[in-house]
A and B are shown apart, each in its own frame.
Chain A
């Protein structure tokens, strides 16, 4: 039954994940840690870290949570559920989007999504960097990584590596 619960929940998340995984991280954390208690806040941060450091779309954190909850079947179900509904939407909308190229509604939708997505990605960053009680060391690492990213256009793996080094020293 836990597989069904995973499928339903990640399927719902899939449909609202405008802007990709970063947008729905707050909801994922709220549900998985606060409501269900499937992972501790620290475990959630670490699953996120592994998902970021490994190659591939960051949506794969869903499969890590699925694995924690129900092993390999959980990982497969979570990944299929987080991708499936969105893929169906992509399949249907790609044609519509082309057809309404010059519609004022298309421009309005594009403009409307931008501020919402910015707020959600910002929320994700702050929430992930604050597992449990606020910890200045985690905020320092996050702030340094954000500043480095804005200052230099390099592969983000360098920031993750720097975060690992700072973590070893500070934590």
Chain B
């Protein structure tokens, strides 16, 4: 399969706009479909590698991917154009949906449905954590770290401004000792 990067900024913009426009239920699958399968901007391996990096960076994975890929292809203007393309439509839609919802939020039926959707969304996070955690299940040090960070964050409600730096340093020490 031959791949070629977008030829100009307009193409980059419409590509990311198209990703954002369709991204119901999660952006990643649509980013893959648009960039790898439809427009053939990059290979499967390249896409996986880029997303892998973006998962380790702070910020939204796919937002970071737009910065990294836009920069690679067109420098600073590419990064800005890709990012704006990605965010433009979802920003308008989510805000419009929320404004409409706010007008109906006094209605108990609407409230119940939206609260149910929120709880299901929370469940998706729990499912994601289980999925990611399975790879670590055989490592006692990893399980201890997960338990400690969870108790501090969810039960004791300690600020992440403390939990993340301290947890990460302890984890880095454990990783260098080959415990993880």
The answer on a CB contact under 8 Å between A119 and B20 is: no
Whether B14 sits at the interface, judged by CB under 8 Å, is no
Chain B residue with Cβ nearest A18? B58
What size tier do the contact residues of chain A reach?
A: 35 or more
The answer on a CB contact under 8 Å between B98 and A163 is: no
The number of residues on chain B lying at the interface, defined by a beta carbon within 8 Å of a beta carbon of chain A, is 90
- Chain B 54-79, CB within 8 Å of chain A: the 1/0 string? 11111111111001100110000001
> Which A11-52 residues sit within 8 Å CB-CB of chain B?
12, 14-27, 30, 34, 42, 45-52
Whether A133 sits at the interface, judged by CB under 8 Å, is no
Q: A64-B94, A125-B126, A156-B25 are in contact. Are A30 and B157 (CB under 8 A)?
A: yes
Main secondary structure of the interface of B (DSSP, over half): helix
Contact of B171 among A89, A112, A128, A170 (CB under 8 A): A112
CB neighbours (8 Å) of A125 from chain B are 122-126, 128-129
Whether B127 sits at the interface, judged by CB under 8 Å, is yes
> Which A75-130 residues sit within 8 Å CB-CB of chain B?
75, 79, 82-83, 85-87, 89-91, 93-94, 97, 104, 107-129
CA of A141 to CA of B25, assembled, Å: 18
CB neighbours (8 Å) of A155 from chain B are 24-26
CB neighbours (8 Å) of B147 from chain A are 119
Whether A146 sits at the interface, judged by CB under 8 Å, is yes
CB neighbours (8 Å) of A45 from chain B are 115, 118-119
The answer on a CB contact under 8 Å between B126 and A146 is: yes
| Nearest CB on B from A28, distance (A) | 9
Contact of A149 among B116, B127, B161 (CB under 8 A): B127
The answer on a CB contact under 8 Å between B115 and A20 is: no
CA of A60 to CA of B25, assembled, Å: 13
Chain A residue with Cβ nearest B135? A114
Contact of A21 among B60, B171, B174 (CB under 8 A): B60
CB neighbours (8 Å) of B97 from chain A are 50, 53-54
CB neighbours (8 Å) of A25 from chain B are 125
Whether B3 sits at the interface, judged by CB under 8 Å, is no
Residues in A lying within 8 Å of B, measured CB to CB? 12, 14-27, 30, 34, 42, 45-60, 63-64, 67, 72, 75, 79, 82-83, 85-87, 89-91, 93-94, 97, 104, 107-129, 138-139, 141-150, 155-157, 159-168, 170-171
13 sample A-B contacts, Cβ–Cβ < 8 Å, listed by A number: A20-B55, A45-B119, A53-B97, A54-B90, A56-B20, A56-B87, A57-B87, A116-B145, A119-B149, A122-B130, A141-B120, A146-B123, A157-B24
Residues in B lying within 8 Å of A, measured CB to CB? 20-27, 53-64, 67-68, 71-72, 79, 83, 86-87, 89-91, 93-95, 97-99, 101, 105, 109, 111-133, 135-136, 142-143, 145-150, 153-154, 157, 159-161, 163-165, 167-168, 171-172, 174-176, 180
